[in-house]
Amino acid sequence: MDFVTIMAAGVATGTIYLFAAVGEIFAERSGVLNLGVTGMMLMGAVGGFATVVATGDPWLGLLVGMAAGGLLSLLHAVVTIHFQADQVVSGLALTFVGTGLARVLGEGLSKAGATSLLPKLTVPILSDIPIVGPIFLRDQSVLVYAGYLLVPAAWYWIHRTRPGLNLRAVGEYPAAADAMGVNVYRLRYLYVFMGGLLSGLAGAAITLAIQPGWFGDLTVGGRGWIAIGLVIFAQWDPLRAAVGGYLFGAIDRFLLDVQGPENFFGIRNPVYYDHTLTFFLGMLPFVLVIVVLVVGSREAVRKRIGAPAALGVPYIRGERGA
C-alpha cells in the first residue's frame, strides 16, 4: 500500500467515472438531465463483454458497448425532447430498462473465462519521471490515455468553439438560441446521444479493460450515480470532473488496500482485525459524495455558478419561457 500504487489504480478506475461524467456534462449542458447513466453503463458493459466473449476482439467490443449506450440514450431523448416527459422520471425509467435489459443479455456471461483485454501502454522516457510517470504513464490501459485526450478536448469544445457556444446557449436559454437559428431539438438529441456513447464507453471500459468480467448489475454498482454526483461537484466542467473522477477512483482503491496491513506506524489496524468494519469503509464514497455536494453547492452559491438554466425544462417552440 503506497501512494503511487493507489494513485495509479485510482487513475485507472477513475477513467470510468471520467467518461460517464463528461458524457453527462454534455447532455446536461444542452439542458437534458439524464439520470439513466447506470443503465447506459450497464448496456455498454454487457455489450462490450458479450462481443469480446463471442469474437475475441476487444476493439469491436468497445464499439458495440458505445453503440449500446448510445442507442439506449435515444429512448430518453425521444421521450423527453419529443414527448416533453419529465426528465427525472424518464432517466429513472432508463436505469430500470438498461439494468433489466443488460441482465437479460448478460445471462450466462458471468461464466465466461478470461477474455482478451484492450492493450496497456507505457510511454517511454516520460514514464520515468518520478511519481507522475508511474501514476499516469506506466502500464495503463489505452482507455486511460483516451481519457487524457477527452478531457481537454471536451473543455475546449464547450468553452472555446462555436458549436460549444451553441451547446451552452441551448442549455441556458433555448428560446434565444432558437432565434439565432440554432436547431434546439437537433442539438439536444445529439448531445444526449453523445452522453449515451460516453456512458457506454465507461461501461465497456469496466468489462474490457479496468475490471474485466460480468457480475450482473454489480458490474457497475453505484458508480453511475456517483458519476452524476461528480457532474454537480464539477460544476459542469470536464476538467473538474476529471479531478473528481481520479480522486474517487483512488478512494476506491485505498479502501481496498487499507484492509491489508496489520499495523500502521506501529498502531493496530482495526480494519485488519475486524473485517465487519469494512462495511463502514464501503460507505465512505457514498457519504463523501454527499459531503462534497454540500461543500460544492455552497461554493457554487458564493461564486454564482449554477446548473445550466434550462436544465430539466423541455423546450416547446413558440411557447413563453426559456
Report the largest interatomic distance among the alpha carbons of the chain, rounded to a whole angstrom: 70
Q: Which of 18, 64, 77, 94 binds another protein (CB under 8 A)?
A: 94
Query: Counting contacts by CB under 8 A, is residue 229 touching another protein?
Result: yes
Please state, in angstroms and rounded to a whole number, the distance separating the CA atoms of residues 319 and 175: 9
Query: Counting contacts by CB under 8 A, is residue 195 touching another protein?
Result: no
Query: Counting contacts by CB under 8 A, is residue 82 touching another protein?
Result: yes
Here's the x/- map for another protein, 163-192, by CB under 8 A: it reads as ----------------------x-------
Here's the x/- map for another protein, 60-79, by CB under 8 A: it reads as ---------------x--xx
- Please enumerate in sequence order all residues whose Cβ is within 8 A of that of 272, keeping only pairs 6 or more positions apart, or say none: 259, 260, 261, 262
CA torsion angle for 219, 271, 244, 122 (degrees, to 10)? -70
For the bound state, the minimum distance from the C-beta of residue 224 to another protein, rounded and expressed in Å, comes to 10
Please state, in angstroms and rounded to a whole number, the distance separating the CA atoms of residues 171 and 187: 10
C-alpha cell at 150: 477527452
Candidate ranges 14-22, 201-209, 236-244, 285-293; the one touching another protein (CB under 8 A): 285-293
C-alpha cell at 145: 490515455
Please state, in angstroms and rounded to a whole number, the distance separating the CA atoms of residues 285 and 249: 10
- Please enumerate in sequence order all residues whose Cβ is within 8 A of that of 162, keeping only pairs 6 or more positions apart, or say none: none
Query: Counting contacts by CB under 8 A, is residue 318 touching another protein?
Result: yes
Query: Counting contacts by CB under 8 A, is residue 109 touching another protein?
Result: no
* List of residues contacting another protein (CB under 8 A): 35, 39, 75, 78-79, 81-86, 88-90, 92-107, 185, 222, 225, 228-229, 232, 274, 276-277, 279-280, 282-283, 286-287, 289-290, 293-294, 297-298, 301, 316-319
